Amino acid sequence: MADLNHWRHRRSVRARARAAEFAAGASHLEGADLLEVAIKEAFVGDIAIASSFGTEAVALLALAAEIDPAVPVIFLDTGKLFPEALAYRRTVVEHLGLTHVRTAGPDILDIAAIDASGDLWKRQPDACCYLRKVVPLVQAVTPYGAWITGRKRYQGDGRAALQPIEASDGWVKINPLAHWTKQDIFGLIAQRKLPKHPLLEHGYLSVGCQPCTQPVTPLGDERDRRWSGQDKSECGIHTIAPEAPLGHAGSGDQGATI
């Protein structure tokens, strides 16, 4: 554990230095401008997009595809997703011409040992997210120094102060749409005639795992039907970094599946 902690400390120090250096020249940028500098200049070959292919994800992916359709995109398949979400992923990849999309998911041996009954989400939702989301995604992005996310400030209190460039858990995290509004996002989707998520018309404004996502009420916040009835608003991907893999690092990566 001492060696692992030392590795994490060195990675965190490096990430903070790189984030500060990048922010010094790019803090005034956002959207496509920030993406282009990050992908083409600052982190060439050392950056990936983590995308849920959710209801708003196509906006960020469209901007990135225009810059470099071969930018690595990591899609997290928890094994609990809506069938419509999996179909939508294929639609978006084909529409945008993305060429380097890979799927990461929980290791089957970890699932057998920890969630063989498949109902951990009901008994221990934080543990389920850690098993099915946090660990596999951290493993998938570990080779990269920078990680692009689709987070926005309007998505909830925990993201209200989100900055476009930050150092977090050993990565430079780039949030090019941090200051965008919902109108900006769906305006771009409409303007470019991008494919819409099929669950939108059924009231799902934020789509996660099927057991933990419900349609939003007419006056509800877009994420208030994620983990409904629980004191939980984040899966942990952006708030928790595992100190070690659960046991089978990397074998949950299912490779290129476009």
Tell me the pLDDT tens digit for each residue of 103-162.
999 999 999 999 999 999 888 888 898 999 989 998 999 999 999 999 999 887 667 888
- For residue 52, give its domain range: 2-256
**Which residue of the set 128, 209, 212, 235 is catalytic?**
235
Amino acid identity of residue 236, one-letter, is: G
Greatest Cα-to-Cα distance within the chain, rounded to the nearest angstrom:
52
Q: What is the rounded distance in angstroms from the CA atom of residue 75 to the CA atom of residue 58?
A: 13
Residue 93's CB: how many other CB atoms inside 10 A?
20
Edge-to-edge strand list for the sheet holding 171-174 = 165-168, 171-174, 146-148, 47-51, 73-76, 101-104, 253-256
Cα–Cα distance list, 157 to 115, 125, 153, 164, 239 (Å): 31, 20, 8, 16, 14
Are the beta carbons of 73 and 57 closer than 8 angstroms? no
Q: What is the rounded distance in angstroms from the CA atom of residue 179 to the CA atom of residue 5?
A: 34
Distance of CA 77 to the CA centre of its chain: 11
In sequence order, which ranges of the chain are alpha helices (DSSP H)?
Answer: 2-26, 31-37, 57-67, 83-96, 108-114, 120-123, 125-129, 135-141, 182-191
Report the domain count for the chain: 1
Cα–Cα distance list, 36 to 59, 116, 152, 172 (Å): 15, 43, 19, 15
Can you say whether residue 90 is alpha, beta or left, with left for phi > 0 and alpha for psi between -120 and 50 degrees?
alpha
Would you give per-residue pLDDT tens digits along the chain (258 residues)? 456 677 778 888 999 999 999 999 999 999 999 999 999 999 999 999 999 899 999 999 999 999 999 999 999 999 999 999 999 999 999 999 999 999 999 999 999 999 999 999 888 888 898 999 989 998 999 999 999 999 999 887 667 888 999 998 889 999 999 999 999 999 999 999 999 999 998 888 888 898 888 777 544 455 444 445 555 455 556 655 444 333 333 333 333 322
CATH number assigned to the domain comprising residue 63:
3.40.50.620
Phi and psi at 48, nearest 5°, equal -140, 160
In the DSSP assignment, the letter for residue 210 is: G
Are the beta carbons of 210 and 203 closer than 8 angstroms? no
Phi and psi at 172, nearest 5°, equal -85, 120
Structure tokens at 84: 């419509």
Q: Is 235 a catalytic residue?
A: yes
